[in-house]
Amino acid sequence: MLKKLHHGLIVSCQAPADSPLHNPTIIAAMAKAAVNQGAVAVRIDSPSHIH
């Protein structure tokens, strides 16, 4: 796994609690889009946002 992360892009998919984007479905969609476009990993700040 570390080899895959080396020189790869890790995308942070987070939104402040008061943001309209702070929704598990939206966060999951942003994470999926990032991975679909080549991100090797995503960073998500809340377990409730993991599908």
Residue type, 4: K
Which residues lie closer than 8 Å to 46 by C-beta, 6 or more apart? 27
Residue matched to tokens 């995503």: 42
Given a contact cutoff of 8 angstroms between Cβ atoms, the answer to whether 3 and 14 are in contact is: no
pTM: 0.80
Q: What is the pLDDT along the chain (51 residues), one digit of tens a residue?
A: 677 778 899 999 999 999 999 999 999 999 999 999 999 999 998 777 676
Residue 13's pLDDT is what?
92
